[in-house]
Amino acid sequence: MTRPRVTFWRLFIVASLALGAYSIFVRFHEGIGGATNLSDGTPWGLWVGLDILTGVALAAGGFMITAVVYVFGLERYRPIVRPALLTAFLGYLFFVIGLLVELGRPWNIWHAIIYWNPNSALFEVAWCVMLYTIVLALEVSNLIFERFGWVRLSRVFHAVVLFLVIAGVMLSTLHQSSLGTLFVIAPGKMHALWYSPALPLIFYVSCMCAGLAMVMVEAFLSQRFLKHPVRVDLMARLARVLMIGLMLLTLLRFSDLWLRSALPLAFQPTEEALAFWVEVALFQVIPIVVLWPERRRASPRRLFVGAFSAVAGLVTHRMNVATTSFVSSSPTDYFPTWMEFSVSIALVVAGVVVFWGFAKWTPLFAEGEHPPHAAHRAEHVTRARPGPPTAISGCGRARRGARRLPAPRRWPGGRSTAPGTRC
Amino acid sequence: MSKGMLIDITACTGCRACVNACRTKNRLDAPPGARLSETDFTVLEHRDRLAVRRMCYHCNDPACASACPVAAMVRTPEGPVAYDEHRCMGCRYCMVACPHGVPAFEWHSRMPRVRKCAFCPDHVAEGRPPPCATACPTEATLFGDRDALIKAATARIDARPERYYPGIWGRDVAGGTSVMFLSPVPFDRLGLRTDLGPDPLGHATGRILALVPGTAATVVTVLGGTYWLYRRRAAVAAEQALAAARDGADAAAREGREGGR
């Protein structure tokens, strides 16, 4: 990376964070209306569509990759577990920050804990998001443990990680789909191209597609900006899964429209139809065309374009659901102000900066760098060494660790969790 | 006993007495607007040369109350749908959920509230008509027990069928409302929702939310079971490999011994 480019990006980061901070100040000083174009007819806008619905959906890569590695034991995906988890955690972290800006009375955000309304889809989302953010924080915490060499905490982490992963998948399944359930209460207000009783399913399938795509985009951006080489073979495998997911989504989306006889609406000269086709182009047509033949999936550029298009498609879908679909029933039109954009951009930039910090200061890319069987062998060597120092020293803590060792450990931990390194 | 109001559009002269009474009662000082807003809890909209009163219709099973994550919107047994600003976190999901576009938000406030007609609970709880009904000079807004109002409405339609569109809006729209309408023309021409069906809107989301515990249990069981299966398979494979290696070693040792002999 040449020096001027670094300066440009630094300038960009500082400028966007400053603008975002200014907009947040205006929002709290003059009320939400002072910073946004929201109105009673379109009460949810860019901040809900982008910061909340999209932020949560793009974090879906975290629960999928962890499940694939920890539950299904597909070790080949191990190298992308940590980046995917970190992306997910930062997605939720900045989603919560965005929520504090977006809520009218953010000082009451904790009320969901004490005032219950189990009939509300948003109540269910609130609880799942709350718990899942904690789960993600715990899952990411091991990066910190390893960074500072806190072996005991790291060991605790490895003991409970499976439960965290399963809890994460469960909570994600519930709230990713419930974000779609939110809109099932508004039939007739929403344009028929987006309203559907099947929205929970559409949200769930689309978040999985976009979550995978986001993992790919993040890997390619890590190569570009963090000089961490991308595993094109892994990306090609993910792309195949992404393709299958997207085709399933296309089938789901269009059969749903067809069953509700809403498909003709897509061929009328309306803004909604235009928004719909932009969404279909970005979310379904471009990724599938770009990634279709298997041999093309060896090209990093194609992989990136396909994944990036799918991410952009998800953004369009969520924006359409939260905003475009309500405009026709609203007496007012809606287009976000520059301040709304600046807050969303600042949140994304802040997330990228924190990601960069983790990449720089923690063993983010350390896990699974070597093929897993090599790591296994290394561990066997450690274990087979006659008279391990831990046993001789008689350190209780280490012995406990040593006693646990003979159990077959399918998932070798990070470097510093190697048994007997400390006591 | 649930209270209600019957608004007979054929009797309404558009004098705005109800609007002014509401503004006085709720101390709404901003200049009156044409649409419901944070400072207009009821307005008269002109459609088909008729004055149509807009306000919160106080659903029997309101979508806003079913949507609110902190139960800041609650339907009281007397009929009014009440809002508690001290619970509200300002998520505005009630505004998304309301099929009639009623709740309004204080967009330019630092401590914003959701604003709408409260059906003057201080009057209604005591069985007194709210100021808007008292103010009406032509009995276009009637207050009473909801069941009695439905009977009165049916009687009005039966007495003068040429004057009324045969139907009471609100008797069973999305679970029914406390504020009902009689009209000379079909209700959709007045901008009232006629596409909602008899089920409360919250039932659609409720049916989906009822799947939550089952989904959670299924996900945990499937993942736990998968993990156990994979572990078991790996353990068996490892044992077999170990046994094979031992056999191999034994055979090699035997061969070595025989070779040496």
What ipTM describes this predicted complex? 0.85
Three-state secondary-structure class, residue A356: helix
CA distance B145 to chain A (A): 28
Helix (H) or strand (E) holding B234: helix B212-260
Domain covering B3-208: architecture: 2-Layer Sandwich (3.30)
**Beta bridge partners of residue B141, listed in sequence order:** B7
CA distance A356 to chain B (A): 32
Q: Mind listing the pLDDT tens digit of every residue in chain B (261 residues)? A: 789 999 999 889 889 999 999 999 999 888 888 889 999 999 999 888 889 999 999 999 999 999 999 999 999 988 899 999 999 999 999 999 999 989 999 999 999 999 999 999 998 888 889 999 999 999 899 899 999 999 999 999 999 888 899 889 998 888 899 999 999 999 988 888 988 888 999 888 888 888 889 999 999 999 989 888 888 888 898 999 999 888 888 888 887 776 655
A162-213: pLDDT as tens digits: 889 999 999 999 999 999 999 999 888 899 899 999 999 999 999 999 999 9
Reported as half-sphere exposure (CB side, CA atoms, 13 A), residue B24 has a value of 11
A346-402: pLDDT as tens digits: 999 999 899 888 888 888 887 655 433 333 333 433 333 343 333 333 333 333 333
Helix (H) or strand (E) holding A3: helix A3-30
Contact B141, B133 (CB under 8 A): yes
Q: Among A237, A189, A198, A195, which residue's Cα sits nearest to residue A216?
A: A237
Contact B90, B112 (CB under 8 A): yes
Give the whole-angstrom CA distance, residue B149 versus residue B5. 7
Cα distances from A384 to residues A25, A155, A157, B174, B180, in angstroms, run 61, 20, 25, 71, 82
Residue A67 burial (CB count, 10 A):
20
Give the whole-angstrom CA distance, residue A17 versus residue A348. 10
Give the whole-angstrom CA distance, residue B72 versus residue B88. 5
Q: Do B97 and A185 touch (CB under 8 A)?
A: yes
Checking if the pLDDT of A423 tops 70, the result is no
Cα distances from B216 to residues A137, A170, A255, A275, B208, in angstroms, run 21, 6, 27, 34, 13
Q: Using alpha carbons only, how large is chain A's radius of gyration in Å?
A: 23
Smallest Cβ distance to B68: which of A70, A73, A117?
A117
When pLDDT is averaged across residues A335-356 and rounded to a whole number, the result is: 92
CA distance A260 to chain B (A): 15
- List domains and CATH numbers for chain A: 16-365 (1.20.1630.10)
Q: Do B89 and A104 touch (CB under 8 A)?
A: yes
User: What are the extents of the domains in chain B?
Assistant: 3-208, 211-261
Parallel, antiparallel or unpaired: strands B81-83 and B73-75: antiparallel
A111-167: pLDDT as tens digits: 989 998 988 999 999 999 999 999 999 988 888 888 888 888 888 888 888 889 999
Give the whole-angstrom CA distance, residue A217 versus residue A95. 19
Does B241 touch chain A if contact means CB atoms closer than 8 Å? no
Interacting residues of A131 by C-beta distance below 8 A, sequence separation 6+: A167, A171
Chains A–B, number of C-beta pairs less than 8 Å apart: 184
Question: What's the confidence (pLDDT) of residue A5?
Answer: 58
Give the whole-angstrom CA distance, residue B15 versus residue B13. 6
Q: Do A119 and B66 touch (CB under 8 A)?
A: yes
Helix (H) or strand (E) holding B43: strand B43-47
